Amino acid sequence: MSIIVQKYGGSSVGSTERIRAVAKRVIETKMKYPNVVVVVSAMGDTTDDLVKMTKEVSDNPSAREYDALISTGENISAALLAMAIQAQGIGAISLSGAQAGIHTENLYSKAKITKVDPSRIMQELDEGKVVIVTGFQGINDVSDITTIGRGGSDTSAVVLAAALGSPVCEIYTDVDGVYTTDPRVVPDARRLAEISYDEMLELASLGAKVLHPRSVECAKENNIALHVRSSFVSHEGTYVKEDSLMEMNKPVTGATLSDEEVMISVLKVQDNPGIAKYSQIEEDPA
């Protein structure tokens, strides 16, 4: 049974209007492929707002309660998307990470997924429903809600694709693919049709924010192609997949930018051993 796994990021579900647009796209997908599983992030800045509230009530919140709180953002977007799909006469159901069978280690805020039991998902698919799963969360051995850290929704989607035997995981975001560099800074940056796992890992680790390295690593380990697409246009984006021999002679794939780093150059330092060294600056007593 072929299963399509799609993931929609926070900007894609950032308002009820956008959620209705995502519902339309999901329904179009279901018309072509009967079995559709959708993973969603929290709406817009919901998670940031929840983190802010924790700081307003506690200087040292317990890790368990912290995860119980910030995991609720995904529950909201999943339930709203299910309602929007149901309003169009299509069966849909939202599942939490626990209900979807996503099990993690006994850590909070940065737990790793240890296994997935997709039986509930398969049951709902057999009944003809679109299954919407909350990203970023799972359940540990003592039945507590856990969150899986940065890039959690992307990682959730890839792990589910692996558990469900889907060869491609579609990642929908606010950009229409992976570019040679940031198109907001360099207007003539080119969108790549394909990029290898290793190249994407390098770009992601150096600041490219399209995909989190954890999700790319998981995709590579399970040989799942990632299709990075825009939620707002219909054309194809960029496929992240294994190298082919024809791709091995590319001198440069892309360049990343970082506006959070500073480089300090010290000029006219004598090129002699012992000259360039750390020395304590004495305070002027005056």
- SS3 breakdown of the chain: % helix, strand, coil, rounded to 5? 35, 20, 50
Residue 9 has pLDDT above 60, yes or no: yes
What pLDDT score was predicted for residue 212?
84
CATH class, domain 4-247, is alpha beta
Q: What is the mean pLDDT of residues 76-95?
A: 98
Domain map (residue ranges) of the chain? 4-247
Least confident of 26-30, 160-164, 207-211: 207-211
Q: Which residues pair with 195 in a beta bridge?
A: 240
Q: What phi and psi values does residue 45 have, to the nearest 5 degrees?
A: -95, 20
Give the strand pairing for 194-196 and 168-173: unpaired
| CA proximity to 192, closest of 8, 183, 259, 170 | 183
Query: What mean pLDDT is reported for the chain?
Result: 88
Tell me if residue 96 falls in helix, strand or coil: coil
Are residues 94 and 75 in contact, defined by beta-carbon separation less than 8 angstroms?
A: yes
Token pair, residue 28, equals 């179009």
> H or E stretch including 173?
strand 168-173
Half-sphere exposure of 217 (CA within 13 A, CB side): 9
Element (H, E) at 92: strand 92-95
- Work out the pLDDT band at 280, boundaries 50, 70, 90: very low
189/254 Cα distance (integer angstroms):
9
Top-confidence residue, 243 or 230? 230
Write the CA distances from 200 to 214, 215, 222, 245, 251, integer angstroms.
11, 11, 16, 17, 15
Reported as a pLDDT band with limits 50, 70 and 90, residue 276 is low
- For 48, 144, 160, 215, the CA distances from 169, given in Å and listed in that order, are 26, 28, 9, 11
Q: 281 pLDDT exceeds 60? A: no
Chain centroid to CA 134 = 12
Give pLDDT tens digits for 109-131: 999 999 999 999 999 999 999 99
Give 138-152 pLDDT, tens digit per residue. 999 999 999 998 778
Averaged pLDDT for residues 244-266: 61
